[in-house]
Amino acid sequence: MTAYEVLQKLQKGWLNEKLAPELLTPLTEEVDCMMAQLKSMEASLPRLEKESVRHHQLEIERVRYLIASYLRTRLAKIQKYAWSIRDEEIKRQSTEPSKLTSEENKFLKEYLQVKRAESVIVDDAEGKSESQVDLPVGSQFIMKYRPVSHLVNSNDVQLV
């Protein structure tokens, strides 16, 4: 996979993470790959012609912003839904992938130690509808998130 393809995947994941009401599967490999790419780009700056240095610096800052925004979004969700995420992690089977990286899991545990439960909300609106909708490629449809959450996690649909 090329750096451009990894960047495209990270951009799509960033947008999905910002728009999804739940924490999605982390894009750990993509973030690590782009961080390595940033180091490579920064190392090559002194060898570039003066005209292209500014362009490369802007691209570096753009990618750095994307990664930081993606990680900030995930941390904000962890803080907002800390108790629910903790409960999901406890119930998660060992064969299922975690929605938290090891660093995020550590953050969650430390956050919960200092945060007390202020209220409890029970979501009893599960939506038991079995309606099937055929959508042409590229079309848009408004619906509840829960029925398509697995499609967002598998990158089969794009939230807008």
Per-residue pLDDT of 94-121, as tens digits, reads: 888 889 999 999 999 999 887 764 545 5
Averaged confidence pLDDT in the chain: 86
The token duo for 142 is: 């408004």
Residue 95 contacts by C-beta under 8 Å, 6 or more apart in sequence? none
In the chain, where the domains are located:
3-115+138-153
Residue range 18-24: mean pLDDT, rounded: 94
What is the CATH topology of the domain spanning 3-115+138-153? Methane Monooxygenase Hydroxylase; Chain G, domain 1 (1.20.58)
pLDDT greater than 80 at residue 66: yes
Long-range contacts of 28-31 (CB under 8 A, 24+ apart): 28/101, 30/6, 31/67, 31/70, 31/71
What's the pLDDT at 116? Answer: 65
Q: Cα 93–99–104 angle (5° rounding)?
A: 120
Alpha-carbon torsion angle 67, 70, 75, 78, nearest 10: -150
Q: Give me the mean pLDDT over the 81-97 stretch.
A: 88
pLDDT of res. 39: 94
- pLDDT computed for residue 156 by the predictor: 83
For range 27-39, the mean pLDDT: 95
pLDDT of amino acid 19 = 96
More confident residue, 25 or 122: 25
Q: How many residues does the chain have?
A: 160
Task: Give the pLDDT score at 30.
Answer: 96
2-11, 19-28, 143-152: which has the minimum mean pLDDT?
143-152
